[in-house]
Amino acid sequence: MRTSRTTLTEFLRNELKGHANASDLTELLEEIARVVTRISHLVARGGIDDITGKLQSENVQGEVQMKLDVVTNDLFIDAFRQSGIVAGIASEEMDSPLSFPEGRDGKFLVVFDPLDGSSNVPVNVSIGSIFSILGAPNGRPPEDNDYLQPGSSQLASGYAIYGPSTMLVYTAGHGTHGFTLDSATETFFLTHANLRIPDTTSEFAINSSNARFWEVPVQQYVEDCIAGSEGVRERDFNMRWVGSMVADVHRILMRGGVYLYPRDNKKPIKAGRLRLMYEANPMSFVVEQAGGKGSTGREQIMGVVPQLVHQRVPVIMGSSQEVSLIERYHRDFDSGEAEKGYSPLFGERSLFHKMQ
């Protein structure tokens, strides 16, 4: 048995050295790790404690809440409030942001999804928690507008995945690092330093049941993947869909691939299904720090300036060359080439080959 692994605490103290708020940021990430440990224990008890079912209530998105959505949200709120270093929070499960008088001088705002993929809870499939850490205003309590920072302003972000093992993956802008929970000692050990997503891939993740609602460039991209070795891609593709963004993106961090939750016209009022501030931005930061790319199809996700805390955004992230290729499908479509029945991407093989 290996006993000389680096713990999360040891790693943070070293990695965050030189960071403007090194000790507070270390404390905050350790606090998150403690909450994740508690959630991991809760989730592992499955149906035993009667917390895996649905509630009667809906969240601000109009989605039915699971009992665990509320329980996990409360665990994060209590931890952030008591830390004294968080000035305010916003969560998928709360209508509006919440300021903490206890964290009046706190340097951070935390935006989070306490339990991503919660519809997977009753069927015992992997789920996660996602967090994004932003700077708080100096010398005054935060206002709602203070949260509306683009992803490029994140100080740190990450996620926990509750799978066969529980992992915490984070970035503070110096690479993406993964830690695995030893539940016996409640310690996170460094198991995946400096994760790198391969630039190319033959695997994509999308909910194909929405195909008829997608925009043309995404329909065309998926069609070309499915055509495999008989189509313009000239190789076969594999498809995966867990239905929890954390699990799908985690797989991509481990072995490459591309994850898509694109804009669609199913519910025209929504720009996509996923939320910019506590799903797309934190996962993009993690992916980009591992050498991947996060895009709406038309711009970098982390460049989008949020108008609302619960704003939705189209999400395409993963292996950099594949995401660039999908952006190209969008550009061709937007430029009108696709409408004329001609696209440099599909018509000119030499150009296409350069993207491989």
Among residues 44 and 211, whose Cβ is nearest to ligand AFP?
211
Q: Verify binding: residue 301, ligand AFP, rule CB under 6 A.
A: no
Q: Verify binding: residue 219, ligand AFP, rule CB under 6 A.
A: no
For tokens 């968080």, name the residue: 86
Rounded distance between C-alpha atoms, residue 112 and residue 309, angstroms: 11
Q: Verify binding: residue 118, ligand AFP, rule CB under 6 A.
A: yes
Q: Verify binding: residue 243, ligand AFP, rule CB under 6 A.
A: yes
Instruction: Please provide the DSSP assignment of 182-243 as one string.
Output: ETTTTEEEEEE-S----S--SEEE--GGGGGGB-HHHHHHHHHHHHGGGSTT-S--EE---S
The pair of structure tokens assigned to 216 is 């043309």
Rounded distance between C-alpha atoms, residue 115 and residue 323, angstroms: 26
Among residues 106 and 272, whose Cβ is nearest to ligand AFP?
272
Q: Verify binding: residue 30, ligand AFP, rule CB under 6 A.
A: no
Among residues 118 and 201, whose Cβ is nearest to ligand AFP?
118
CB 282 within 8 A of CB 134: no
Long-range contacts formed by 219-224: CB under 8 A, 24+ apart: 220/329, 220/333, 220/338, 220/346, 221/325, 221/326, 221/329, 224/346
From the CB of 110, what's the least distance to ligand AFP, in Å? Answer: 17
Among residues 107 and 312, whose Cβ is nearest to ligand AFP?
312
Of 17-25, 144-152, 239-247, 348-356, which segment contacts ligand AFP by CB under 6 A? 239-247
Window 86-115: residues binding ligand AFP (CB under 6 A): 113
Rounded distance between C-alpha atoms, residue 331 and residue 217, angstroms: 9
Among residues 63 and 215, whose Cβ is nearest to ligand AFP?
63
Among 245, 304, 317, 338, binds ligand AFP (CB under 6 A): 245
Q: Verify binding: residue 244, ligand AFP, rule CB under 6 A.
A: yes
From the CB of 298, what's the least distance to ligand AFP, in Å? Answer: 20
Rounded distance between C-alpha atoms, residue 285 and residue 292, angstroms: 9
The pair of structure tokens assigned to 169 is 């993956």
Q: Verify binding: residue 116, ligand AFP, rule CB under 6 A.
A: yes
Q: Indicate left, alpha or beta for 258 from its phi (over 0: left) and psi (-120 to 50: alpha).
A: beta
Q: Which residue is nearest to ligand AFP (CB)?
A: 245
Q: Verify binding: residue 228, ligand AFP, rule CB under 6 A.
A: no
From the CB of 149, what's the least distance to ligand AFP, in Å? Answer: 22
- In three-state secondary structure terms, 2 is coil
From the CB of 53, what's the least distance to ligand AFP, in Å? Answer: 14
Among 35, 42, 222, 274, binds ligand AFP (CB under 6 A): 274
3-state helix, strand, coil in the chain (%, to 5): 40, 25, 40
From residue 180, how far is each of 7, 169, 183, 185 by CA, in Å? 9, 9, 9, 12
Window 31-70: residues binding ligand AFP (CB under 6 A): 63
Label the pairing between strands 258-261 and 315-318.
antiparallel
Of 117-125, 148-156, 178-186, 193-201, which segment contacts ligand AFP by CB under 6 A? 117-125
Among 97, 103, 106, 117, binds ligand AFP (CB under 6 A): 117
Among residues 154 and 244, whose Cβ is nearest to ligand AFP?
244
Among 6, 21, 119, 152, binds ligand AFP (CB under 6 A): 119
Q: Verify binding: residue 207, ligand AFP, rule CB under 6 A.
A: yes
The count of chain residues that interact with ligand AFP, using the rule CB under 6 A, is 14
With both helix axes pointing from N to C terminus, report the angle between 216-227 and 320-334 in degrees, rounded to the nearest 10: 130
Binding site for ligand AFP (CB under 6 A): 63, 113, 116-119, 207, 243-245, 248, 261, 273-274
